[in-house]
Amino acid sequence: MKKVFVFVSLLVAAVMLLTACGPALTPTAVVVPPTTVPPPPTAVPPTEVLPTETTAPTAVPTPIPPICTKLADAPAAPAAGQLGASDTPITMAFVPSGESGVIATASTAIADCLKTMTGLNYAVQTGTSYAAAIEAMGSGKAQVGFLNTFSILLAQAKYQIIPALINIRNYQTNDLDPDKALGGTPQPFYKPQFITKADSGITKLTDLIGKTFCFVDPISTSGYIVPRIMLKAAGVDPDTAFKATVNAGSHQNVAAAVYKGDCDAGVTYINVLTDATLNTTYPDLQTKVVVFADGERIPNDGVQYIKTLDPKLQAITTEALLAMAADPGGKAVLKKLYTIDAFQKIDSTPTIYSDFLAVLVKAGVDPATMVK
């Protein structure tokens, strides 16, 4: 054992002697070459977070409020009990041609703006049906109407209402429309369109025989009256040809019913398929639902007065509505209501409704025979 210990001691001493006598070691002899270690990333500092679409804040458009400046010729405030006073407001009747919540919000904003501009008080009333809005004016419960076209003709025949303004809209079109070149231009007319599911196999009016069909309302011009004339002309009796019919209540409801398969086909105005609310609810609406036929021109809806309303109140209300339509914020409210882009005084196109009435009568639809 002693010999082993002496041998190891001598070996260690020899190694130490050789190390001391040899060349000194340098740090580079044992350091891994720099090329074997990937350099740290320099493109993005470790503390920097690049913005992404998911982290970037989403800008929410701020609605432009209407500027409702008091009119220079606004009348004196009416005494209590007089029409326009707070206890006897001028009532405006609206047809339920769109989403009820949207109509309620927009019509209230119109009433508030008119009050500020005229000093008169206005109230709103949305009919449960198109007929209800007509009767509100006929009974005198409403003095101002925002009626649809056929309701105007009926109310003229029954109650002699006075059309004052016609709504002007940037013309909506579709791929089948012969007036497609007018798309986006201000026009006093619109058209109906027939819609169905893209895979339904329905491509013409005669394909509707035996199907379930959606109308809007029996007094809807583009959603009932004119389409029935078109169907009859094509040899499809709207009273007997369908398996079933549904009056959906609004153009948006018709589109939704066709999308969901509740109706095989339906009719609306051009082009309800671009409606923002519908496309939010049904993002693939314009893929799943298609247009297969269009109708002829129909005069736009507008604003009307009962015949007993004081002409001065008619004039100031018309002036205020025109002022609203000329203001960006006011126009936004009107756009929200019934996609109104502008108003045009009816005296600039005095025969627009009577000319359309003549077309209807020739086709066998006479409003005068339909009123009680």
Q: Could you read off the pLDDT of 71-121 as tens digits, one per residue? A: 999 999 999 999 999 999 999 999 998 889 999 999 999 999 999 999 999
Q: How many domains does the chain have?
A: 2
In a domain, 145, yes or no: yes
Which pLDDT belongs to residue 60?
A: 56
In a domain, 246, yes or no: yes
**What CATH number corresponds to the domain at position 254?**
3.40.190.10
If we measure between CA atoms, which residue out of 315, 253, 319, 350 comes closest to residue 69? Answer: 319
Structural domain that includes position 336: 90-171+301-369
In a domain, 336, yes or no: yes
Beta bridge partners of 293: 194
Please indicate, yes or no, whether residues 285 and 246 belong to a single structural domain of this protein. yes
If we measure between CA atoms, which residue out of 130, 149, 92, 133 comes closest to residue 324? Answer: 92
Preceding peptide of 271 cis, ω within 30°: yes
pLDDT digits (tens, 9 = 90+) for 48-78: 444 444 445 556 567 889 999 999 999 999 9
In a domain, 75, yes or no: no
Helix, strand, or coil (residue 344): strand
Which pLDDT belongs to residue 81?
A: 97
Please indicate, yes or no, whether residues 312 and 287 belong to a single structural domain of this protein. no
If we measure between CA atoms, which residue out of 320, 269, 297, 309 comes closest to residue 165? Answer: 320
Please indicate, yes or no, whether residues 198 and 246 belong to a single structural domain of this protein. yes
Please indicate, yes or no, whether residues 167 and 305 belong to a single structural domain of this protein. yes
In a domain, 35, yes or no: no
For residue 115, the tally of other CB atoms under 10 A from its CB is 20
User: Of 295, 323, 357, which residue is a domain's last?
Assistant: 295
Which pLDDT belongs to residue 47?
A: 44
Please indicate, yes or no, whether residues 330 and 245 belong to a single structural domain of this protein. no
Please indicate, yes or no, whether residues 272 and 197 belong to a single structural domain of this protein. yes
